[in-house]
Amino acid sequence: MKLRATIFVEGKSDKFFLKQFLKSNFGLEVPDNQIIQVDGKDKLPKFKEWFVQGSDQNLKNLIVFDADKDFETRGQSLIDICDNLQVESEIFLFPNNNSVGNLEVLLEKIINPDKAFIFDCFQDYLQCLQKQSEIKLNLPAQKTKIHAYLDLLFSKTMVEERNYQDSELWNLDHEYLNPLRAFIKNHIS
Amino acid sequence: MSDNSRHITSFKVKNFKRFESFEMNDLGQFNLIVGDNNVGKTSLLEMLLVDELNVIATITNYRQALLNHKVFANPKFREFSYFRNLETSINEILFSSTTVDRKFYEVRFNFDKVNLMFKIFGIQNREYDYFYNDALFSIEEFSVPLIPFSKGYDSDLVNFYSRFIQSLPKEKELLFEYMRIFIPDLIYIEPSAPKSDESIFLIVTQKSKNSTLPLGFYGEGTVKLFRILLEIIANKGKRLMIDEVDTGIHYSRFSSFWNVILLAAVRHNVQLFMTTHNEECIKYFVDVLSEPKMKSYQKDARSISLVELPDKSVKAYTYPFGHLEANILMGNDVRGGAR
């Protein structure tokens, strides 16, 4: 089986998660040049050659980005960019192609439930931080939360070193991943 | 071809080796060619040997390319001939000789300004008007603008130096200045025969050494830089093809290597087409062009990725500098290759 698509992601955290998701769910070792990092939607035009190359090789173009604060707006802006570039692509927005959020929201949903207390404690920490207003903080600290989860459990925290296939930490079979699974499955043959 | 120089901005070819039909567009002055093994990178460099304005130079270039491939058994090409096809208005060139496997082959191509055909045939019916014979011209008149893979020190460098550099003091000093990035205390490089009855070598004189050394004693990278710089100076205003430009260059030298090559190409108005498989080489290419004094040349830099498509044809994708830089910054694989 092969992935018949090029996947465009924002950054390396998305890339390393997807590589392991594809390995775990479909047994696919996807080469690096089939998952392209583009930084953000505004940078997409600089990666147009990959879209064209993929289409020429009968590969579909898949954009997997964060929905962030407005699911509809993000989706539409990506459609507009692809129209301007005259490239065809299908879009999936983290966390589940239906809600606002990002990869970290998805990751929080697929943690080992036995370790959920760490996130509960983190809520208290966040509430404490939110009480002060003098200094601007990067809240709700979603990346910090994932980092803390891994660090507290003696696991590697660097994005490219994370092991999402460690069932003590993550559940890559979680039903929350069903929309992503279905999206990818269409492009495997 | 652009208006004010012989640099090409696009190129189209038919029936050249593995390419039935091939084109490159949006070319710059500095073109890095990347792609998988056997996708045709070296063939692409050979395509560019066609000289739009000079049939004899084209013949010389292709003869040398064939010699590089060791296709023909007879290195002197005694049976090499040039014919003009009477039935078409296009110049047609025919090489014929006995190959190393003792079969008789003919290599034929015809060209006009945009199209080039190159095919190996068996013996053909000669429907040609005899036009030119190998014995009538000398290969010495031309510098073939292709540096093949792993071309190290060879006696051709002496001839080359004597013909194109030795009598030009300004060019000579420039060459020494360029070479000082690899030999910082270089005084000069000159042809010399250690004994009167021996061959002539290029000899390097350095401030810090009491004795001189032949250039061939220096590392592969130093000889390679020398060869590239000579070719750049000799091909002023034209284009130069370099196969595997990174070979022999240590990564710690890439920055100064690119600096001097690109600046020399700018000074002598030479368009470069260079193949590489080396990711570090490409990164340093981008780094050097990101330096303040080099930024104005970014608009002239391209990466051209050759990709084999499902129907086995090959397509070229041209990345302008900004796109190449964005891919490097994001850690994407910029060496081309299969997916």
Which pLDDT score, from 0 to 100, does residue B55 have? 66
Q: Specify the number of domains making up chain B.
A: 2
Beta bridge partners of B33: B275, B304
Mean pLDDT of chain A: 95
User: Do A53 and B305 make contact, defined as CB atoms within 8 angstroms?
Assistant: yes
Domain boundary pick from B172, B203, B234: B234
Q: Does A38 touch chain B (CB under 8 A)?
A: yes
Maximal CA-CA distance, chain A: 55
User: Do B330 and A37 make contact, defined as CB atoms within 8 angstroms?
Assistant: yes
Q: What percentage of chain B carries pLDDT values higher than 90?
A: 45
**Of A123 and B133, more confident:** A123
User: What average pLDDT score do residues A118-144 get?
Assistant: 90
Q: What percentage of chain A carries pLDDT values higher than 70?
A: 100
User: Do A33 and B332 make contact, defined as CB atoms within 8 angstroms?
Assistant: yes
Q: Report how far residue B67's alpha carbon sits from residue B162's, in angstroms, rounded to the nearest whole number.
A: 23
**Of A180 and B90, more confident:** A180
Residues A143-158 as b/e (b if ≥16 CB within 10 A, e otherwise) read eebbbbbbeeeeeeee
Please state whether B322 falls in left (phi above 0), alpha (psi between -120 and 50) or beta.
Answer: alpha
CB-closest option in A11, A46, A53 to B326: A46
Q: Report how far residue A92's alpha carbon sits from residue A74's, in angstroms, rounded to the nearest whole number.
A: 10
Contact at 8 Å (CB) between A105 and A142?
Answer: yes
* Residue whose entry in the numeric block shows the structure tokens 């019916």: B125
Residues B54, B199 within the same domain: no
Mapped onto helix, strand or coil, the DSSP state of residue A128 is helix
Q: At what angle do helices A178-185 and A12-26 cross, to 10 degrees?
A: 80
Residues B140, B200 within the same domain: no
Strand duo B19-24 + B11-16: pairing = antiparallel
CA B51 to mean position of chain CA atoms:
13
Residues B292, B176 within the same domain: no
Residues B165, B284 within the same domain: no
Q: Report how far residue A40's alpha carbon sits from residue A10's, in angstroms, rounded to the nearest whole number.
A: 5
Residues 6+ apart with CB under 8 A from A69: A100
Query: What domain range is B257 assigned to?
Result: 1-145+236-339
Q: Report how far residue B107's alpha carbon sits from residue B118's, in angstroms, rounded to the nearest whole number.
A: 7
Which pLDDT score, from 0 to 100, does residue B196 have? 65
End-to-end Cα distance, chain B: 34
Does pLDDT of B80 surpass 80? no
User: What average pLDDT score do residues B247-260 get?
Assistant: 93
Q: Report how far residue B264's alpha carbon sits from residue B253's, in angstroms, rounded to the nearest whole number.
A: 16
Residues B249, B115 within the same domain: yes
Q: How many beta-carbon contacts under 8 Å exist across A and B?
A: 51
Q: Does A43 touch chain B (CB under 8 A)?
A: yes
User: Do A33 and B337 make contact, defined as CB atoms within 8 angstroms?
Assistant: yes
Number of H helices, E strands in chain B: 8, 16
Burial of B238 (0-12, 13-18, 19+ CB in 10 A): buried
Contact at 8 Å (CB) between B226 and B158?
Answer: no
Mapped onto helix, strand or coil, the DSSP state of residue B235 is coil
Residues B222, B253 within the same domain: no
User: Do A46 and B333 make contact, defined as CB atoms within 8 angstroms?
Assistant: no
Contact at 8 Å (CB) between A125 and A145?
Answer: no
Residues B68, B92 within the same domain: yes
Token pair for residue B214? 């032949």
Residues B114, B157 within the same domain: no
Strongest mean pLDDT among B37-46, B65-74, B215-224, B279-288 = B279-288
Q: Report how far residue A16's alpha carbon sits from residue A161's, in angstroms, rounded to the nearest whole number.
A: 9
Q: How confident is the model at residue A63 (pLDDT cuts 50, 70, 90)?
A: very high
Residues B181, B207 within the same domain: yes
Summarised one tens digit per residue, pLDDT across range A38-60 is 999 999 999 999 999 999 999 99
Q: Shortest Cα distance from B281 to chain A (angstroms)?
A: 18
Strand duo B19-24 + B104-111: pairing = unpaired
Mapped onto helix, strand or coil, the DSSP state of residue B146 is strand
Residues B222, B320 within the same domain: no
Domain boundary pick from B182, B209, B234: B234
Q: Which of residues 307-326 of B touch A (CB under 8 A)?
A: 307, 309-310, 315, 317-319, 322-323, 326
Write down the ipTM of this complex.
Answer: 0.91
| DSSP assignments along B103-120, one per residue | -EEEEEEEE-SS-B-BEE
Lowest pLDDT segment from A62-66, A86-90, B161-165, B186-190: B161-165
Summarised one tens digit per residue, pLDDT across range A64-123 is 999 999 999 999 999 999 999 999 999 999 999 999 999 999 999 999 999 999 999 998
Contact at 8 Å (CB) between B289 and B282?
Answer: no
CA B156 to mean position of chain CA atoms:
15
Residues B116, B159 within the same domain: no
CATH number reported for the structural domain that contains residue B55 in this entry: 3.40.50
Q: Shortest Cα distance from A156 to chain B (angstroms)?
A: 21
User: Do A36 and B332 make contact, defined as CB atoms within 8 angstroms?
Assistant: yes
Q: Does B331 touch chain A (CB under 8 A)?
A: yes
Does pLDDT of A166 surpass 50? yes
- DSSP single-letter state for residue B30: E
User: Do A37 and B332 make contact, defined as CB atoms within 8 angstroms?
Assistant: yes
Which pLDDT score, from 0 to 100, does residue B128 have? 38
* Residue B260: other Cβ atoms inside 10 A: 21
**Range A5-102+172-185: architecture per CATH:** 3-Layer(aba) Sandwich (3.40)
